[in-house]
Every structure is written in C-alpha cells, then in structure tokens.
C-alpha cells in the first residue's frame, strides 16, 4: 500500500550547481543538500536538478514538479539582461539555460517559485529586470571558510515575506523603530551581485531592503499578482547563520506547492 503522506507530499524541483563541474565537488554537494533538507523539513519532496542530469530525467521532473526552487550559484550571464560582462564572474551559461527552461515551465502552469541568492537574481532577470554586477562589501566570507558575515535586512511588514517571518516568530516580530514600520533581522551575506530598486522587473515588487556601499538595495522580492513568487538575496537554508523567523518562508512555499498539486489533481469540468 503506498504511503499516503509521501503521496501527498509536493515535488519541489531544486536547480543547483552540478558538483561534478565544481572545483570542490564535496562542498558543492553539501551546499546542495542544505536546500533539500529545508524542503524535507517542511514535508516537501526535494528533487535536485542540474546540468548533468540526463535529459529524460530533467523533462520528467519539470513535468511533475509542484514548485520550483532556484538555488544559489554562479553569476548569470549579463547578456541575458542586455549588458556586457564587467564584474560578473564564474558564469555558467548552461545553468542559465536550464533554469530559464524551468522558469518557463513554472510560468506555463502558474507554479510557486522560490529564489535564493542567484535564484533571487534569476527571478528578476527572467522577469525583465537587470543586475548590479558587483557589490564588494556584501561578498562576505565564502561558505565553508569561516563564520558568515551578516548585515541588517529591513522587511516590508505587509509583504508575503513579512507575514511569514512574523508568523514564525514565537512572540511575533515587531518593528524596532516606532517611526519605521519595517521589520528587521540580521541575515547572512554571501553574494557580490545585487538588484538596484530601479532595475527591479515591472511585475515584481520589493519586500526587503539592505544598505551597501552602492546604496539601498532590494534583497527580497515577490510577484505583484496573486501567484506565489518570492526571492531572497540571503541564504535561509544555512541555518547556522539564519534567524529562526526565516524558517517560516519554507513552510509557506511548501504549502503553496501543496495547493498547486491539489489544483493539478482536480479534474477539469
């Protein structure tokens, strides 16, 4: 008899770096596993997808997915957003193409999408936005080479992200400044590219902000319509350097995927 819990669990496709193409395959695999662990912790079924995945398996996963998680990784080719390379590095065009295909499939079926770091930037680029190719003061310590650097994150309280982190806080999460309604958390920073407010795609709205030497940056985004699309510049899967309130967004994402799965299973009338 099939496991009813497993049968009800939504399939979340996670686009990641191919460890076999990494300079440190063991570290790359460990990073990838963290995304899967976060999905599994909230009763989703994770499925890692990368450029080394056989085409038949790739097509099967994209056709079956209930949600898409665009994970962190190499820089996106600036040519995709109409610019030449200036400060982008470690470009992986094969992954760009894979993720664009996954994004288009998620759009076709209106599936929920969660983007982290590179994935956050990919949502903006695939939606028609642009990137700032280098923000040196946000780069921090490479993962696995010491404690994470952190910075303040200001979260819009009425946003999907704001509601999720407030709901995940045992005592609720309140603004720290009576004159400023923004919620504030300390988050890790492992990125060197960013999104300026004026470069945000038209169909997206900001949900979180951070300051940098380059000025105020968008570090959280979501869709302007009712579709569940959310991006975060920080890495909430790295729990050793993530405030516990951010765990709420994983739960929201899996719940959205459950809804997508249920809708898919409902016979057309």
Residue range 127-145: mean pLDDT, rounded = 76
The pLDDT mean for the chain works out to 87
pLDDT greater than 50 at residue 175: no
Residue range 126-139: mean pLDDT, rounded = 82
Q: What percent of the chain has pLDDT over 70?
A: 86
Strand partners, 80: none
Predicted local confidence at residue 138, as pLDDT: 54
pLDDT greater than 70 at residue 65: yes
Question: Whole domain around residue 149: which residue ranges?
Answer: 4-265
Work out the pLDDT band at 134, boundaries 50, 70, 90.
confident
Q: How many domains does the chain have?
A: 1
pLDDT in tens, 177-229: 444 467 899 999 877 888 999 999 999 999 999 887 778 899 999 999 999 99
Residue range 135-157: mean pLDDT, rounded = 76
Predicted local confidence at residue 212, as pLDDT: 76
Here the CATH number for the domain that contains residue 236 is 3.40.50.880
């Amino acid at each position: 008899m099939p496991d009813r819990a497993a049968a009800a669990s939504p399939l979340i496709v996670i686009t990641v770096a191919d460890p076999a193409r990494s300079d440190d395959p063991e570290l790359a695999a460990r990073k990838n596993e963290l995304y899967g662990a976060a999905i599994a912790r909230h009763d989703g079924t994770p499925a890692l997808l990368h450029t080394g995945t056989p085409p038949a398996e790739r097509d099967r996963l994209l056709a079956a997915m209930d949600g898409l998680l665009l994970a962190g990784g190499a820089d996106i080719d600036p040519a995709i957003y109409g610019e030449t390379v200036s400060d982008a590095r470690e470009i992986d065009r094969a992954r760009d193409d894979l993720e664009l295909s996954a994004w288009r499939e998620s759009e076709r079926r209106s599936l929920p999408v969660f983007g982290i770091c590179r994935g956050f930037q990919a949502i903006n680029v695939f939606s028609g936005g642009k990137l700032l190719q280098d923000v040196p003061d946000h780069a921090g310590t490479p993962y696995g080479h010491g404690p994470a650097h952190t910075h303040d994150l200001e979260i819009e309280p009425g946003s999907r992200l704001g509601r999720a982190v407030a709901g995940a806080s045992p005592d609720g999460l309140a603004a720290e400044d009576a004159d400023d309604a923004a919620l504030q958390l300390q988050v890790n920073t492992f990125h060197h590219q960013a999104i300026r407010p004026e470069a945000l795609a038209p169909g997206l709205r900001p949900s979180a902000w951070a300051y940098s030497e380059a000025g105020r940056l968008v570090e959280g985004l979501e869709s302007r319509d009712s579709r569940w699309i959310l991006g975060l510049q920080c890495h909430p899967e790295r729990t050793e350097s993530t405030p516990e309130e951010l765990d709420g967004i994983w739960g929201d994402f899996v719940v959205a995927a459950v809804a997508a799965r249920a809708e898919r299973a409902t016979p057309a009338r």
